[in-house]
Amino acid sequence: MKFAIWGFQKETEIAQHVKEILDSLISDGHELYILDTFAQLLDLNYPEVHPITEGDIPKDTDFIISIGGDGTLLSAAQAVMRAPIPILGINLGSLGFLTSLERDWRSEFNNILNGHYQIEERMVLNCRLEFPDGSEETLWALNDVVIERADVFSLLPLEVRVGDKMLNRYQADGLIISSPTGSTAYALSAGGPIVDPCLDAILITPISAHTLSVRPVVLAGDQNIYIKLSDDSDHARVHVDGKNTREIDSSIRLRIRPSSYRIQLVVLPENTFYDKLRKKLHWGQRSG
């Protein structure tokens, strides 16, 4: 089998896990690749492992092994947005909603190599920035598109339309437009609902809205959402999966819709989304 190792953190614990994974896969005769910057960070010296850049992952790779946390997996997802390569996440961070394996990954990792896994396809958001000169830029998000104020001392006025219908004119610190996968990320912290990641839906969650009656909204997953700053003097920042950031003003319109791309996540049949909710959010446990 062919594996690509992915990460970007320089920590002793991560280096130890990466070396153990590489040693195991090399001994089993698999073909291995590793992100070049990751190998340099960890000072790895494995002649059998081929360094690659973010843009040249072999298309016939069986798995990308993401080693870190959810942020690392989101980075891997950006790299394979146009290629249906399954991502296997090993959580060495804190929460780990997107990853399948934890620090005690060894037995379950071997089970996956023996075919004991499932592939979940996750919805991706297409975020297009439309500029006044007619040009465009398109970005993709597995989790969310976050629009936040550039000026810390003022609320952000945002006009949101669903298709050709007005939804609302928000006054808030910002908006989170998320996929169901992203419902357990920033949107959850802002009071948004938890949505089953197998659904096709788009969530709009205001960040500290000025009016208490403004609540999160869940829309059908086939909608086109248009967002503009409604005040000519305002500026904002757009963050896509917490990685790609753009500055916008009232002359730029955002269009967010479902993408034709799908991200494939490797999951264990006995570790469902509902199991993760109970474990990660400590549901059913007494406090104190």
Residues annotated as part of the active site: 70
Query: CA distances (Å), 52 to each of 4, 49, 142, 150, 259, in order?
Result: 9, 10, 23, 36, 27
Instruction: For residue 208, give every residue at least 6 positions away whose Cβ sits within 8 Å of its Cβ, in sequence order, or none.
Output: 172, 173, 174, 190
Token duo for residue 82: 């146009």
Instruction: For residue 81, count other CB atoms closer than 10 A to its CB.
Output: 17
Token duo for residue 228: 């503009």
Residue 160, classed as helix, strand or coil, is: strand
Token duo for residue 92: 């060495």
Of 117, 108, 122, 107, nearest in space to 73 by CA = 122
